[in-house]
């Protein structure tokens, strides 16, 4: 049995980040930041710089991006844009087929996001994948957020699965560190917001498209 097969042979659950992992939300996320910058007269940050600051709760992200402004107000403008433009959150080409294959093989599936439940579940529903997920943990469901392990522990408790039996897959440093902190295996989604720099965190595995997950998990 090969090293990779041994590593993932006991997997019973897959924990997904949503944005940049299950859903193509590049225009949805960057558009919300750019809209907010424009509303408040803040010079737009390059998208590459935005991507390096993403992963944590929105208020914390804006506190870093615009320290002279009220982060809560910026975050509210951001969330309102997302509510009004939910159509910008779209499926990656392989998302539905991958979720279908994982469920067919009896794996439990959860989504864990720092996005508000004002839009997180709706974006999954409108793309027809909410029913694949046994648990969705959003911003309001926990006190501490990724990279803290609390949201992962909450999902795993609902699934009745130990961390050692789960994979955390995500596209930001917060996702990978949350998995490490929780004791799950970690998979870096290099096709998302974090890109190749996620390799620096030494995830257990890295994939360039979602379908590669099937080689690991099944």
pLDDT digits (tens, 9 = 90+) for 188-209: 999 999 999 999 999 999 999 9
User: What does pTM read for this prediction?
Assistant: 0.92
Encoding tokens for residue 15?
Answer: 């924990």
| 3-state DSSP assignment of residue 170 | strand
> Which of 17, 19, 175, 204 is flagged as catalytic?
17
Peptide bond into 147 cis (omega under 30): yes
Look at the domain 26-88 and name its fold: DNA polymerase; domain 1 (1.10.150)
Average of per-residue pLDDT across 18-44: 97
Instruction: Say what the pLDDT of residue 10 is.
Output: 84
Is residue 105 within 8 A of residue 215, CB to CB? The reply is no
Q: Decide if 38 is catalytic.
A: no
pLDDT for 34 beyond 50: yes
CATH 3.40.50.1000 residue spans of the chain: 3-25+89-217
Is residue 129 within 8 A of residue 96, CB to CB? The reply is yes
Rounded-to-integer distance, Cα 72 and Cα 55, Å: 17
pLDDT for 218 beyond 80: no
What CATH code is assigned to 3-25+89-217?
A: 3.40.50.1000
CATH 1.10.150 residue spans of the chain: 26-88
Instruction: Say what the pLDDT of residue 55 is.
Output: 85
Q: What is the mean pLDDT of the chain?
A: 94
Average of per-residue pLDDT across 109-124: 96
């Amino acid at each position: 049995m090969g090293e990779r097969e041994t590593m993932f042979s006991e997997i019973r659950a897959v924990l997904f980040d949503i944005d940049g992992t299950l859903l193509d939300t590049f225009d949805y996320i960057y558009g919300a930041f750019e809209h907010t910058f424009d509303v408040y007269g803040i010079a737009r940050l390059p998208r590459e710089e935005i991507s390096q600051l993403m992963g944590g709760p929105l208020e914390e992200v804006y506190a870093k991006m615009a320290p002279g402004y009220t982060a809560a107000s910026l975050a509210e403008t951001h969330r309102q844009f997302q509510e009004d433009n939910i159509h910008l959150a779209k499926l990656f080409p392989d998302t539905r087929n991958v979720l279908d294959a994982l469920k067919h093989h009896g794996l439990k599936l959860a989504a864990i996001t720092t996005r508000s439940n004002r839009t997180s579940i709706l974006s999954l529903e409108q793309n027809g994948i909410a029913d694949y997920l046994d648990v969705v943990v959003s911003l309001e469901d926990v006190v501490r957020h990724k990279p803290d392990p609390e949201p992962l522990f909450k999902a795993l408790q609902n699934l009745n699965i130990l961390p050692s039996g789960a994979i955390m897959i995500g596209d930001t440093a917060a996702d990978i560190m949350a998995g490490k902190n929780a004791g799950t295996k970690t998979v870096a989604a290099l096709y998302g917001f974090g890109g190749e720099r996620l390799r620096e965190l030494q995830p257990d595995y890295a994939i360039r498209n979602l379908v590669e997950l099937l080689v690991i998990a099944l």
